[in-house]
Structure 1
Amino acid sequence: MTDTTPTDLTNADLLGLAPVIPVVVLEDEDAAVPLARALVEGGLPAIEVTLRTPAALPAITRIAAEVPDAIVGAGTVVRPEDAERSAAAGARFLVSPGCTPRLQAAMVATGLPFLPGVATASEAVALLEGGITAMKFFPAEAAGGRAYLKALGGPLPDARFCPTGGVTPGNAADYLALPNVGCVGGSWLTPGDAVRAGDWDRIRALAADAAALGKG
């Protein structure tokens, strides 16, 4: 994996930080720092905090300030203002489930690296036309899974993906074996019951197992 620092990341670098990017939903911002520390200690420095709860932006701010080894990003970026607010909160990267020209322009304007979401060949081609080669493939399993991504490899050799959505410990290695997959996104690393109970040892162990999925 890369040893790139958060300040000089590119879109493509995001795919090489770790084999798995945890996709985190936080209801309580007080859980953000110990959770991030557990993930980092387990070997997963890149953490995507989804903008699905009121705690998300404060959690990003706290992780950015208190867990220096974490590379915290914002996920579920669906509006231009989401990109702007995430950058102001301290996010180091952005992830969107889909992409429109307006949303893309807003993410570019932040100066942060980002993974725009695609689910079809046409969407991937549109991003390639703009020079963007690193993308999120979402919802991975529902959109065709490993077979679909393998099929895209021939006509779109420059596109590389982070599949997310239905990726599990049981199929993550199969995705990572594809040459056009740099990493996967997964929500299994931070089970809700473990987060609520403060079971950071469990999360650390899940992260260590996921980190061991790295190629080679």
Structure 2
Amino acid sequence: MPRALVIAGCLSGEKNDAGVAALVDELAAAVGADMTLRARTGGRPVGRALPDVLAELRAGGVRRALVVTTHVVDGRLQRAAASAVRDAAPGFESLGLAPPLLAGERDHAAVAAALDEALPARPGRVVALAGHRGPECEAALAGIEGALRERGRGDVLVGAPERLVARLEGSAPKVLLGPFLMALGHHARHEVLGELARSLSADVWPHALAELSAIRRLVISHAMSSL
């Protein structure tokens, strides 16, 4: 019986995104997917919404599916995905939803280790990583910063754009700015690497979390636990 893999998240900027492409390929191989589809859970209205994709699969006779989101935390969009999966479940024999990237303290430690390796410390430089706004997101970003601090990386700040601006105002060190996001979507390219970088006069780290192999392994581990 065929199994479908649904990659759900904001897809507006993921065209030609090498990190997401690698994640999709590795996920499909790991879970034994016979088909892979993408679905939108938020952001700009580009692509089909998750409920519509699940309805299409059900109408096409697919009875086993796994939804993996590109969400970093268990916030509003992850909860909306969970609701869509619950609503669609009666039409499937097996329909799972993988946890978001940061599903527990071990995930914070694993992501901090991946960032520590990808962004080594440099004298006189502060690394700033900007993520989404919202209470759940900002709490998770603070957790990542704490996990990095435990690794001796007090030079790394992680937070929503406005909070980073406030914390870096009047700061003397050179700033390297990157997105704390799974994909280089519209938010990453325009708000973080564009507007925020200009406001901070920062150099940019134009990469997404999905480009880091350790991050992809963590996402795959979450997916396998949800089969």
Q: TM-score, normalised by structure 1?
A: 0.32
Larger radius of gyration: 2
Structure with greater proportional helix content = 2
